[in-house]
Structure 1
Amino acid sequence: MKKAELVFVPFPFWSHLTPTIEFAKLLVSHDDRLHITMLISRVPFDATFVAYIDSLVASSPMSDCIDFVSLPCDYVFAPETNHNVAMTLLMDHQKTHVKNAVTKLIQAHGDKSPRLAGFVVDQLCSAMVDVANGFRVPTYVFFTVSAGFVSLMFHLQTLRDEEFAELTNSPDAELQLPSFVNSVPARILPEAVLDKAASQLFLNNYRKVRDQAKGIIVNTFFELESGAIQFLSDDKFPTVYPVGPAVKLIVGGDDDLVGSRGNNQKSEIIAWLDDQPASSVVFLCFGNVGSFGDCQLKEIARALESSGMRFLWSLRKRPSSGQDVLPSGYTDFTEVLDKEFFDRTAAIGKIIGWAPQVAILAHPAIGGFVSHCGWNSVLESLRLGVPIATWPLYAEQQFNAFELVKELGVAVEIKLDYVMDFKSEKDPTVVSAQVMEATIRRLLEHDSDVRKRVKDISEKSKKALMDGGSSHTVLNGLINDVIDSMP
């Protein structure tokens, strides 16, 4: 029979594209009847990301089953536009480019294999449901967030559209979420939920997914988030497919695509870790966007030095006030930390800029991870059996931190409600060295309940994708649904 062609439309940002590519790899390795064409918008605000897209297109196809196509992006980001609103407007603007690319794809194939079978679109790309409908094929929505967060958003959409209830902005309010045991404090909900203009757009998108999508694909696995998955398995939602953990665990190759300089840095980092005892190092890393002001950095340094624990700290330079750009590297770390700190901690610590996160987390010397709690980082850490200390910064990370600590018991709390201010060089609040030191000590306890639970979840995450595992079985069901539904 002819191969089934799936058109993937990821949201053009690192934390969305990386798991989308890993999920695509999972699909084509699972069944050779599938071919995937991934359409990636060349957003203008991140030159490194655009270069990465270009490298993917240049190396296409990947394993003869995945092709990458770059799309122009001429959307103008007005400085005054709410950035949460802008994300939705961006992908709505891209509908014409996606339609044109798919039309060319169909024309190029003609009567040959593969045949268009459906769209797989990011949760922030629900506008593409309209494009898929125009081609008379189904849409599957891929969520790069937790099932817990998906359940939250569908619950809020139900409250608004069926019970006409408004979410209060009171920081002391508590939300009863059907998929959670614990009530959820309003203060840990994302800005996009609490901001009225943005929340209406996001909830409209979830309503569209609920009404028009054929399936909900979530990068998680049943053994990790059984309560949320059971909630989403209700027949009032499209079929839910927990297919994870779709994470990049190949250490080496295109691990981070940073060139020879990055490879040299990686070798130096791994060589340092090789000299450390097993499970003795705490790793601090806050993602592509995370950064702190000088006062907070000094408190982190005090905590690390006072604890006496071995540490590996990925330190990024905060953008100047008002500049909407990503953090950069320091030319010299003594710009922000005293030289004496480096002298006093030379025997136990190492500070780096760019971090090959997967390679570090996979190293046996790593005993704990101080993380911003982005969902990809969470899955990588749990998959590799590394317990987490939560320091969320933006988006749904505060909600993730709450779920990890309160619901799942696989993390310890530094903060649950910390919020980074993108518009200021100063931190809105400063976490004290004493709080951090106490948490780091808890994080590295060898016989703690948290570490035992993480080890258990790590084993279950491996089994989930093995033959007969929960995610493996779900993948079979998803692929059969795609094949059986082909027009």
Structure 2
Amino acid sequence: MEKAQLVFVLAPAMGHLVSAVEVARLLLNRHDLLSITVLVLNHSSVNSGVRNYVESQRASSSTISNSLRFIDLPKDEHESFSFSSLAERQKPHVKEAVLKITQSESSIDSPQLAGFVIDMFYTPMIDVANEFGVPSYIFFTSSAASLGFMLYVQKIHDEEKFDPAEFKDSDSELPVPSLVNPLPARVMPSPMLSKKQLPPLLENARRYGEAKGIIVNTFLELESHAIESFKIPPIYPVGPILDVRSDGRSNHQEIMQWLDDQPLSSVVFLCFGSMGSFGEDQVKEIACALEHSGYRFLWSLRRPPPPGLLVSPSDYEDPQEVLPKGFLDRTTKIGRVMGWAPQVAVLAHPAIGGFVSHCGWNSVLESIWFGVPIATWPMYAEQQFNAFEMVIELGLAVEIKMDYRNDSGIIVNCDEIERGIKCLMEHDSEKRKKVKEMSERSRMALMDSGSSHFYLGNLITDVMDNLG
């Protein structure tokens, strides 16, 4: 059999990058004749975490084999940053990089270019794949249901002039083919309500039909209705794709030792993703709820970035400046407040009994993997949709506020948060049992006879069939 080469064109964002690189590793582990080159698009606003991650992957790949390599594209210094405009500007660089690859590997036994795997927001790269005469596969980092919703909105927008922004605060419900339940308009993904962000989203969705397949970070047992609602192009649910190898103990020994001393499933963990943070008024309401609830807690508390700056939140030098007076002293026996948290290591700890989360899809999959139920507190992107799917569609989470948006100015009060935490931490609840069952199914999906293992095999067969 011939050797095949795939080119991954990835977004410089941790939530997209990590899962895509894990897919690359899965593919390489399954097929000896595959090699993968990852092209990392670069922009001056890309944070150091992304750069450090790429460097660590490059180092570990070079020690394992030469079948996975990383190439940094020239840095884009353009002031504005949006996925679609960056992809358009980087097309010549991608073409040049792939030309170099194909020219340097022109001997008889060199791998033949078999296709592009393209980030869900980078569909302009389909044009580059077409120039090389190879098919494209989209890598979709969120749920199958949200992929179905995106395609549904694009269809009714183009055919019926549907404008999502008109329904922003309405009580309307939408009959979405990838959902069993009608979707309340108030939980539509934030970018769909933005006049600026909607057009590139719709253009991406239009181009999905040009792909030979869409790789989705989910698994059949979690989203059977959504997955079975698709007809064309083929869907490859190969998840849950997680990097669960990282161990946060070494850098956070004090916190991990504190967790070691807590009873099983007794601690509620609050963490809102790499871009999640709250203003002082909301922080005080969360503190009030934690104190009143009486539950043990571990809270990742971050300082919001200055208004208008697209940068990650930072850690407080002294969190007491935003917490209620005396809060840390009064809760010293039951709780800990920290800055950035090693989320995977914390969720994996047996002391964790519940997770108050922003519902980023990677976080949802991690919580399911470790069997930790979620209380939903979405903030941006498609997280409101994910919260709805987890609470209403799948019955795997409880609600704090499903339609919260971090730019709304709304303050969720102490009582509402406390009610959600108490519901989350009920020990013998049906939700807790369902999450434990889904945890087992998530692990089985990746095993040799599992559903995701099967779909990954189908994907590899399809890629190898591209060699002409």
**TM-score category by the smaller chain?**
over 0.9
- Residues 459, 264 of structure 1: CA spacing in aligned structure 2 closer, same or farther, 3 A cutoff? closer
Q: Is the 8 A contact 1:61 1:68 kept in 2?
A: no
CA positional deviation for 1:200? 2.4
Q: In the alignment, does 2:51 pair up with 1:50?
A: yes
Partner of 1:38: 38
Partner of 1:191: 190
Partner of 2:11: 11
What is the alpha-carbon distance in structure 2 between the residues aligned to residue 438 and residue 226 of structure 1? Answer: 31
What is the alpha-carbon distance in structure 1 between the residues aligned to residue 126 and residue 434 of structure 2? Answer: 39
Using structure 1 for the length normalisation, give the TM-score: 0.92
Using structure 2 for the length normalisation, give the TM-score: 0.95
Given candidates 127, 131, 135, the residue that maps to 1:130 is 127
What is the alpha-carbon distance in structure 2 between the residues aligned to residue 59 and residue 89 of structure 1? Answer: 31
CA positional deviation for 1:207? 1.1
Q: Is the 8 A contact 2:165 2:192 kept in 1?
A: no
Deviations 1:110-152 (A, max 9, x none): 2242221110011001111001001111100010010010000
Q: Is the 8 A contact 1:75 1:90 kept in 2?
A: no
Report the RMSD for the aligned CA atoms in angstroms: 1.6
CA positional deviation for 1:355? 0.8
What is the alpha-carbon distance in structure 1 between the residues aligned to residue 87 and residue 63 of structure 2? Answer: 25
- Residues 108, 241 of structure 1: CA spacing in aligned structure 2 closer, same or farther, 3 A cutoff? same
Partner of 2:175: 176
Given candidates 44, 66, 74, the residue that maps to 1:72 is 74
What is the alpha-carbon distance in structure 1 between the residues aligned to residue 22 and residue 48 of structure 2? Answer: 22
What is the alpha-carbon distance in structure 1 between the residues aligned to residue 213 and residue 62 of structure 2? Answer: 26
What is the alpha-carbon distance in structure 1 between the residues aligned to residue 457 and residue 257 of structure 2? Answer: 41
Deviations 1:366-401 (A, max 9, x none): 000000000000001101101000000000000000
How many aligned residue pairs are there?
463
CA positional deviation for 1:187? 1.6
Partner of 1:469: 450
What is the alpha-carbon distance in structure 2 between the residues aligned to residue 105 and residue 481 of structure 1? Answer: 22
- Residues 322, 206 of structure 1: CA spacing in aligned structure 2 closer, same or farther, 3 A cutoff? closer
Structure 2 stretches lacking a partner, 5+ long: none
Partner of 1:244: 239
Q: Is the 8 A contact 1:466 1:472 kept in 2?
A: yes
CA positional deviation for 1:339? 5.4
Identity of aligned residues (%): 52
Structure 1 stretches lacking a partner, 5+ long: 256-262, 422-426
Deviations 1:162-217 (A, max 9, x none): 4554446222222111221221111211232122343222112111111x110011
What is the alpha-carbon distance in structure 2 between the residues aligned to residue 106 and residue 348 of structure 1? Answer: 59
Partner of 2:114: 117
CA positional deviation for 1:444? 0.9
Q: In the alignment, does 2:288 pair up with 1:302?
A: yes
Q: How does 1:187-336 map to 2 (within 5 A)?
A: 187-210=186-209, 212-232=210-230, 234=231, 237-252=232-247, 264-336=250-322
Partner of 1:391: 377
What is the alpha-carbon distance in structure 2 between the residues aligned to residue 406 and residue 62 of structure 1? Answer: 46
Q: Is the 8 A contact 2:284 2:324 kept in 1?
A: no
Amino acid at match of 1:26: L
CA positional deviation for 1:480? 0.6
Q: Which moved more, 1:137-146 or 1:62-71?
A: 62-71
Q: Which moved more, 1:308-317 or 1:64-73?
A: 64-73
What is the alpha-carbon distance in structure 1 between the residues aligned to residue 179 and residue 228 of structure 2? Answer: 11
CA positional deviation for 1:340? 1.2
What is the alpha-carbon distance in structure 2 between the residues aligned to residue 107 and residue 69 of structure 1? Answer: 16
Q: In the alignment, does 2:20 pair up with 1:20?
A: yes
Secondary structure of 2:309's counterpart equals coil
